[in-house]
Amino acid sequence: MTLPDPEDVVRVEGPWTHRDVPANGARFHVAEAGAGPLVLLLHGFPTFWWTWRHALPVLAGAGYRAAAMDLRGYAGSDHPPRGYDPFTLAADVTGVIRSLGARDAVVVGQGWGGFLAWVAAALEPEAVRAIAPVSMPHPRRLREALLGDAQQRRASAYVFGFQVPASPERDLLEDGAAGVARLLRDWSATPTWPDEHAEARYRAAMLLRNTAHCALEYHRWAMRSIPRPDGIRFARRMKEPIWAPVLQVHGGADATVLPASARGSEAYVRGPYRWAELPGCGHFPQEEQPDALHDLLLDWLPTV
């Protein structure tokens, strides 16, 4: 497969505009479309803002200002050597909201982006009007599943492999980041996705300098911090209830974050809560069943 130039995939043309905004001491790339209440879209691993290419024009057409950001260490955003803990990452998210000129936003996030939606709603509720975490339980519910469910631990075995220095980066980047394609296929339940076009773009984006290392640092903090004071402090802070409205979406065939692990997250929510499960969908609803996800969002957003 011939991959596009990694520098070209970040600012691909489409029904959106690109801009860079400062936040939390770093620079973040954002693709945005539309005008109205801000909906901030957060990607997960191993993707980047482009995973929301279907949602941007749909939300814009429905009267929202949709903005998809590259998280710290990904694609067009800065790749600093530190800051891959959820305290810093959530401050990135709320800082981008303010840099976009909004008082608050609805935060929609998939995978790690969903994790950060939960965290931002707990730590900086004044900046988060509502959240829609996709393919991600509340952090404490995920912790419970990892500690108490052997099946979830087996599904998350790749995270333990990521703890080894250096070699996971080499494995991910070998043969033009073929490891990215393997993860996308393994975590999807849709035989036709990723197609060749999507695979090439995601592989190319991971080849940008230091992206693989930065992306893995998210997983490394999550595991290594568990016995440390910062990890204990995070677990305690996440006991704080979520008062913002929550739409939690999960693929019924997600093989990496099991639906059983996601259920029960409402125990940490005091505001209005909805659960939606997409039958036959894997870890990437925004790619595998975008129309179904958009319908859920457009039905829910007017209520928040």
| Tens-place pLDDT, residues 182-204 | 999 999 999 999 999 999 999 99
pTM: 0.98
DSSP line for the chain: -PPPPHHHHHT--SSSEEEEEEETTEEEEEEEE--SSEEEEE--TT--GGGGTTHHHHHHHTT-EEEEEPPTTSTTS---SS--SHHHHHHHHHHHHHHTT-S-EEEEEETHHHHHHHHHHHH-GGGEEEEEEES---HHHHHHHHHH-HHHHHHTHHHHHTTSSSHHHHHHHHHHHHHHHHHHHHH---TT-S-HHHHHHHHHHHTSTTHHHHHHHHHHHHHHTTTSHHHHHHHHHTTSPB-S-EEEEEETT-SSS-HHHHTTGGGGB-S-EEEEEETT--S-HHHHSHHHHHHHHHHHGGG-
Q: How confident is the model at residue 164 (pLDDT cuts 50, 70, 90)?
A: very high
Residue 1 reports pLDDT greater than 90: no
| pLDDT tens digits along 63-86 | 999 999 999 999 999 999 999 999
pLDDT of residue 238: 97
Q: Which CATH architecture has domain 6-303?
A: 3-Layer(aba) Sandwich (3.40)
| pLDDT tens digits along 268-286 | 999 999 999 999 999 999 9
pLDDT of residue 67: 98
| pLDDT tens digits along 100-150 | 999 999 999 999 999 999 999 999 999 999 999 999 999 999 999 999 999
The arithmetic mean of pLDDT across residues 264-271, rounded, is: 97
